[in-house]
């Protein structure tokens, strides 16, 4: 109990200090980059134990600054809710989710706040079932939808969009975009492909794997298709009705046949966002991740930096981000221009499997004691928290208390 209270007190003090600093400055301009930022930390630190403790099923987190948040297991068959920064969790899975998944095998989720969340079950090219909660998963409302499900993105507790897959064929994926303003009870189609017809707007060619909105009007779809040196990044400025292809200025080319596969756009605020682009370099038989950034709501994108063999990354502010790959845990505090290696301070003896950067100081990481292929079977995962820009990580008990 003392450890839990101490952790919460430290976290609250850290966040309050950050908030006070922002108020004193009177603006949101990032602090100047520390010229020593690329140096390894010299202060003494307590290295996490090599003996895995507090193992459990939590695989992915979505925790908010107020301390409330969500988590799920590796296959999204169980969901959990926390009210104290991840120290304790309660099961928040809709009661009939397992039963309904027999009829609706596809699942996606979106959590707008610490208490409001959506879970969507669907069948390929068929109807879907939407769950919504506004009280941290204590109760769920269900709505049957007469159109296929897909990726969701909400810009408020009740207003959001859904990217529905209408079918795939010969390197193409036909989609529809639907919008709700009443928490998913009713939906209006704002865009839809006509199968077999060529669209001069959002192309039917290529698979669509990312769906993000910065506000009620500006959004992005990312994807991939077998075209050399082609960035599949499309932007809407009218709520999904029309789409425009975007490029990243100075994006490097390392070979003669680079293939680019962007991840979903990571929203920071209504103007700033990042996109991580995995580049397959055929001549080197390896992958490189490029990061591009926008500061004008996606009107233009600028290349930031690249690192080899990155498995996943996340940003929580215009300056602070974390990336993992090739056995190394990296962090940036200058918007991705430089990346420092903080591997010894992460989870020795375990493997990072997911990371969530919450703000300009706060981050969460899940590590596993299993080989990647054993994750689903054993769920032997451990939650870590950093309140120091990912310089130091501390074990979170993450006990599921009910």
pLDDT tens, 349-380?
899 999 999 999 999 999 998 765 665 556 78
Structure tokens, 122: 């669907």
192, exposed or middle or buried, with CB in 10 Å at 0-12, 13-18, 19+?
middle
Is 122 within the bounds of a domain?
A: yes
CB-based contacts of 142, cutoff 8 Å, min separation 6 = 94, 129, 130, 131, 132
Q: How far apart are CA 218 and CA 194, in angstroms?
A: 23
The structure's pTM equals 0.85
Q: How many domains does the chain have?
A: 1
CB-based contacts of 299, cutoff 8 Å, min separation 6 = 235
Q: How far apart are CA 369 and CA 375, in angstroms?
A: 9
Backbone phi and psi for residue 39, each to the nearest 5 degrees, phi listed first: -85, 150
> Which residue has 């209006």 as its token pair?
188
End-to-end CA distance of the chain: 17
Is 292 within the bounds of a domain?
A: no
> Which residue has 């109760």 as its token pair?
139
Q: Is residue 16 within a helix (H) or strand (E), and if so which, with residue range?
A: helix 2-25
Encode 245-268: b = buried (16+ Cβ within 10 Å), e = exposed.
ebebeebeeeeeebbbbbbbbbbb
Is 196 within the bounds of a domain?
A: yes
Is 163 within the bounds of a domain?
A: yes
Is 14 within the bounds of a domain?
A: no
CB-based contacts of 258, cutoff 8 Å, min separation 6 = 228, 229, 279, 280, 281, 282
Q: Give the Cβ contact number of residue 88 at 10 Å.
A: 18
pLDDT at 282 (0 to 100): 80
pLDDT tens, 315-342?
999 999 999 999 999 999 999 999 999 9
pLDDT at 133 (0 to 100): 99
The answer to whether 129 and 142 have CB atoms below 8 angstroms apart is yes
User: Tens-digit pLDDT profile for the chain (402 aa)?
Assistant: 444 454 454 454 444 444 443 333 333 333 333 333 333 333 344 444 444 457 899 999 999 999 999 999 999 999 999 999 999 999 999 999 999 999 999 999 999 999 999 999 999 889 999 999 999 999 999 999 999 999 999 999 999 999 999 888 778 899 999 999 999 999 999 999 986 667 778 999 999 999 999 999 999 999 999 899 999 999 999 999 999 999 999 999 987 888 999 999 999 999 999 999 999 988 778 899 999 999 999 999 999 999 999 999 999 999 999 999 999 999 999 999 999 999 988 888 899 999 999 999 999 999 998 765 665 556 789 999 999 999 999 999 999 998
pLDDT at 376 (0 to 100): 53
Is 198 within the bounds of a domain?
A: yes
pLDDT at 212 (0 to 100): 99
Is 89 within the bounds of a domain?
A: yes
Is 363 within the bounds of a domain?
A: no
* Enclosing domain of residue 87: 69-205
């Amino acid at each position: 109990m003392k450890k839990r209270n101490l952790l919460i007190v430290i976290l609250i003090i850290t966040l309050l200090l950050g908030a006070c600093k922002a108020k004193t400055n009177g603006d949101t301009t990032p602090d100047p980059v520390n010229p020593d930022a690329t140096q390894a930390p010299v202060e003494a630190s307590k290295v996490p134990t090599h003996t895995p403790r507090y193992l459990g099923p939590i695989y992915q987190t979505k925790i908010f600054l107020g301390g409330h948040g969500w988590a799920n297991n590796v296959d999204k068959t169980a969901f959990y809710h926390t009210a104290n920064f991840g120290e304790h969790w309660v099961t928040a899975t809709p009661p009939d989710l397992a039963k309904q998944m027999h009829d609706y095998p596809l699942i996606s989720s979106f959590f707008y706040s610490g208490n409001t969340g959506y879970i969507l079950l669907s069948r390929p090219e068929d109807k879907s079932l939407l769950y919504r909660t506004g009280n941290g998963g204590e109760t769920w409302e269900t709505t049957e939808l007469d159109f296929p499900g897909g990726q969701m993105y909400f810009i408020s507790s009740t207003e959001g969009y859904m990217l529905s897959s209408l079918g795939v064929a010969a390197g193409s994926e036909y989609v529809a975009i639907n919008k709700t303003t009443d928490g998913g009870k009713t939906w209006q189609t704002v865009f839809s492909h006509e199968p077999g017809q060529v669209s001069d707007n959002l192309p039917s060619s290529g698979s669509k794997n990312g769906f993000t909105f910065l506000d009620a009007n500006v959004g992005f779809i990312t994807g991939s298709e077998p075209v050399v040196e082609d960035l599949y990044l499309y932007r809407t400025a009218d709520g999904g009705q029309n789409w425009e292809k975007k490029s990243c200025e100075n994006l490097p080319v390392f070979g003669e046949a680079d293939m680019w596969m962007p991840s979903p756009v990571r929203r920071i605020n209504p103007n700033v966002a990042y996109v991580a682009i995995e580049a397959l370099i055929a001549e080197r038989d390896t992958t490189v991740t490029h990061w591009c950034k926008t500061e004008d709501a996606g009107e233009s994108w600028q290349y930031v930096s690249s690192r080899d063999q990155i498995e996943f990354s996340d940003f929580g502010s215009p300056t602070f981000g974390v990336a993992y790959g090739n056995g190394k845990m990296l962090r940036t505090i200058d918007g991705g221009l430089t990346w420092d290696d903080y591997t010894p301070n992460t989870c020795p003896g375990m493997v990072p499997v997911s990371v969530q950067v919450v703000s300009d100081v706060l981050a969460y990481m899940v590590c596993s004691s299993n080989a990647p292929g054993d994750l689903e079977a054993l769920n032997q995962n451990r939650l870590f928290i950093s309140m120091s820009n990912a310089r130091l990580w501390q074990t979170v008990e993450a006990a599921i208390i009910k």
